[in-house]
Structure 1
Amino acid sequence: RFSNYIAWLGNPTNIKPSAQIVWPIVGQEILNGDVGGGFQGIQVTSGWFQLWRASGITTEFQLYVTALGGLLMAALMVFAGWFHYHKSAPKLEWFQNVESMLNHHLAGLLGLGCLGWAGHQIHISLPINKLLDSGVSPQELPAPHEFLVNRDLMSELYPSFSKGILPFFTLNWHEYSDFLTFKGGLNPITGGLWLSDTAHHHLALAVLFIIAGHMYRTNWGIGHSMKEILEGHKGPFTGEGHKGLYEILTTSWHAQLA
């Protein structure tokens, strides 16, 4: 077998995660230990098993498909990098528009990234982990997409799903406290943070970053200007020390690479 991941899913605190076997060469197989789940190997301490469980991955086939998806995205990004620097390179001033870069990175990369991850945790990870924590075997779990399309299934686990998005628009946000929690402490089943706490955390971060992505001045005369902030800062020891720093950071390739 490749690993004891499936067995570990059902008992993550007593079974040690392992996905590495030392081959019997010159007696090196002595490094293999009984980690539980009917498996002998070296214990994994990187936290990958915990990350996969928190993502809602319950089979090795899902891991395989995830790896293929990551490989495809990596190839796509390599092509995009080659295209935008060798075939359709942007103008130099594109790299000097720091306010636009800040807005896009804060709102797009961090804000929408956190929002997407919070959505995945709420709609996929939370129901799967709740069933796993209840003792349901990984082989008996519904397919992940069923939690997306079957509201009745989700409502059995989290009753507020039956109310849809009405509590959101009526500002009755406390209705969602069954899956967006603030418990603190650790889940005794897994020994990790409560997944409903981390989903709440990422949703809150998404709101903060999306708001922060509208702070800096771009096409209209509202918002902050980095040049004005730097040159307006006159400390007791630096004096005019920040004057010219904006130009250095926006025109120096060395500064941008650093």
Structure 2
Amino acid sequence: KPSAQVVWPIVGQEILNGDVGGGFQGIQITSGFFQLWRASGITSEFELYATAIGGLFMAALMVFAGWFHYHKAAPKLEWFQNVESMMNHHLAGLLGLGCLGWAGHQIHIALPINKLLDAGISPQEIPLPHEFLVNRELICQLYPSFSKGIIPFFTLNWSEYADFLTFKGGLNPVTGGLWLSDTAHHHLALAVLFLVAGHMYRTNWGIGHSMKEILEAHKGPFTGEGHKGMYEILTSSWHAQLAINLAMMGSLSIIVAHHMYAMPPYPYIATDYPTQLSLFTHHMWIGGFCIVGAGAHASIFMVRDYNPAKNYNNVLDRIIRHRDAIVSHLNWVCIFLGFHSFGLYIHNDTMRALGRSQDMFSDTAIQLQPVFAQWVQNIHTLAPGNTSPNSLATASYAFGGDIVSIGNKVAMMPISLGTADFMVHHIHAFTIHVTVLILVKGFLFARNSRLIPDKSNLGFRFP
């Protein structure tokens, strides 16, 4: 079992320490940190100690930077509205160089250490992390292409590096996590992508895109003035920006929740069931809160920052003008979904109570197979053979493939869909549509309604 800390023997509290295996006494954790550290190549408490001191130093630096940029040289508000420059820096600096640095760490430190750990070598006998950097002989024994240095890179003979930048697919049979060489390859590819993207927007030179021009040119046949005025809204209203960012962040968090179990990214995380459950629940809750926050801040924007005079006949104005149609459609959709999803469960309960199990909706009685979802899963199972013939397996065994078991525990197996999945997914459709109805109605009627026409003068706190 994973453990991260030991409770010291003070006033009998050491009773909290349990046997977590391997002759180690400590507290069992379900946060996934143990697996994350294993994937990063951290094998001892000393390395954690060094990491913590590094974090402490960076935090102190940031505290100083915060003080400096507030009391000594505070940026002007206009500086935050220079979005092209911001996009270039965030894409190239934050994401591009961030991915590059992480890929570098994975290739030079994490990969060799994990390869030795997977081979069953004890952490005490593995060389220290910096030795893989200073002693090239050491890493050449594990990955022979290191002996060629950077010559293959500059001669465009990149396939030489295929021993540590792989495209295998599937899971490592020793740890039940994604292949670390696959994820290193992934981060290196992302770094290249983001570093190129960081040169996409026009700043001091007359080359590149302008956000305002892109938005104003984006007109459809049914959207009137299109996105005219959107640039001004997003650069001048914090609430509008926050609403969009929260909606994106929340949606991404929910996507992450599903990817964490379908493609377990860290060693041994797939067989650590409490951690898997905790991480899924955590990311779903965070996603839900963020999306609800997006609705709230969109409404605050409508009350405080929206100017009807500046938004005539653009997409936002046109949405607000046919808000009655939108809300009434959502209304009947929610009622329809409510009856037709929950109704199936009530039917099943009634039939079970009457002892008529042959009349229930289930795989053994009346079947409701999710045929479209099964078709999609089948496509994804067969895809790697057609689109990337060199890969060993599909991206996730959830769609089909073999059972991956680690130490007599199932790490990942095909999740075949049936009647129960069809029914519960329609319940999810129902709950999500109700959430959309609540948030969208609150946003569209934030300024006024027939009952309270002057809502916008009363402020967001009303009633």
Match of 1:152 in 2: 137
Q: Which amino acid in 2 is paired with 1:182?
A: F
Match of 1:225 in 2: 210
The CA distance in 2 between the partners of 1:151 and 1:256, in whole Å, is 48
Deviation at 1:27, TM superposition (A): 11
Superimposed CA distance per residue, residues 83-102 of structure 1 (whole angstroms, 9 cap, x where no aligned partner): 11221012222111100000
Deviation at 1:127, TM superposition (A): 0.8
The CA distance in 1 between the partners of 2:14 and 2:46, in whole Å, is 30
Structure possessing the higher radius of gyration over alpha carbons: 2
Match of 2:230 in 1: 245
Match of 2:179 in 1: 194
Superimposed CA distance per residue, residues 75-114 of structure 1 (whole angstroms, 9 cap, x where no aligned partner): 2112112211221012222111100000000001000000
Match of 1:203 in 2: 188
The CA distance in 2 between the partners of 1:221 and 1:84, in whole Å, is 30
Report the more deviating stretch, 155-164 or 128-137.
128-137
Match of 2:123 in 1: 138
Q: Sort the Cα spacing of 1:57 and 1:242 in 2 relative to 1 into closer, same or farther, 3 A.
A: same
Q: Sort the Cα spacing of 1:148 and 1:191 in 2 relative to 1 into closer, same or farther, 3 A.
A: same
The CA distance in 2 between the partners of 1:27 and 1:51, in whole Å, is 28
Aligned-pair Cα RMSD in Å: 2.3
The CA distance in 2 between the partners of 1:159 and 1:117, in whole Å, is 22
Match of 1:61 in 2: 46
The CA distance in 2 between the partners of 1:257 and 1:170, in whole Å, is 46
Q: Sort the Cα spacing of 1:27 and 1:60 in 2 relative to 1 into closer, same or farther, 3 A.
A: closer
Deviation at 1:26, TM superposition (A): 11
The CA distance in 1 between the partners of 2:13 and 2:63, in whole Å, is 43
Deviation at 1:164, TM superposition (A): 0.5
Match of 2:89 in 1: 104
Q: Which amino acid in 2 is paired with 1:143?
A: L
Q: Which amino acid in 2 is paired with 1:152?
A: E
In structure 2, runs of 5+ residues without a counterpart are 244-463
Correspondent of 1:85 among 70, 76, 79: 70
Report the more deviating stretch, 245-254 or 174-183.
245-254
Match of 2:24 in 1: 39
Correspondent of 1:113 among 98, 103, 112: 98
The CA distance in 2 between the partners of 1:227 and 1:250, in whole Å, is 10
Q: Sort the Cα spacing of 1:255 and 1:155 in 2 relative to 1 into closer, same or farther, 3 A.
A: same
Matched, 1:126 2:111: yes
Q: Which amino acid in 1 is paired with 2:204?
A: N
Asked whether the equivalents of residues 84 and 203 of structure 2 are also in contact (C-alpha less than 8 Å), the reply is yes
Deviation at 1:185, TM superposition (A): 1.2
TM-score (norm 2): 0.49
In structure 1, runs of 5+ residues without a counterpart are 1-15
Match of 1:71 in 2: 56
Deviation at 1:220, TM superposition (A): 1.3
Q: Which amino acid in 1 is paired with 2:169?
A: G
Q: Sort the Cα spacing of 1:60 and 1:26 in 2 relative to 1 into closer, same or farther, 3 A.
A: closer
The CA distance in 2 between the partners of 1:145 and 1:250, in whole Å, is 45
Q: Which amino acid in 1 is paired with 2:206?
A: G
Superimposed CA distance per residue, residues 62-82 of structure 1 (whole angstroms, 9 cap, x where no aligned partner): 101111111111121121122
Match of 2:33 in 1: 48
Secondary structure of 1:19's aligned partner: strand
Q: Sort the Cα spacing of 1:78 and 1:26 in 2 relative to 1 into closer, same or farther, 3 A.
A: closer
Asked whether the equivalents of residues 4 and 34 of structure 2 are also in contact (C-alpha less than 8 Å), the reply is no
- Where relative contact order (Cα < 8 A, 6+ residues apart) is larger, the structure is 1
Deviation at 1:157, TM superposition (A): 0.7
Q: Which amino acid in 2 is paired with 1:240?
A: E
Match of 1:13 in 2: none
Report the more deviating stretch, 229-238 or 177-186.
229-238
Asked whether the equivalents of residues 99 and 188 of structure 2 are also in contact (C-alpha less than 8 Å), the reply is yes
Q: Which amino acid in 2 is paired with 1:116?
A: G
Deviation at 1:238, TM superposition (A): 2.6
Q: Which amino acid in 1 is paired with 2:151?
A: L
Q: Which amino acid in 2 is paired with 1:133?
A: D
Deviation at 1:134, TM superposition (A): 1.2
The CA distance in 1 between the partners of 2:234 and 2:102, in whole Å, is 32
Instruction: Report how many aligned residue pairs link the two structures.
Output: 242
- Identity value in percent: 86
The CA distance in 1 between the partners of 2:99 and 2:138, in whole Å, is 25
Report the more deviating stretch, 160-169 or 37-46.
37-46
The CA distance in 2 between the partners of 1:84 and 1:27, in whole Å, is 45
The CA distance in 1 between the partners of 2:54 and 2:13, in whole Å, is 38
The CA distance in 2 between the partners of 1:34 and 1:145, in whole Å, is 32
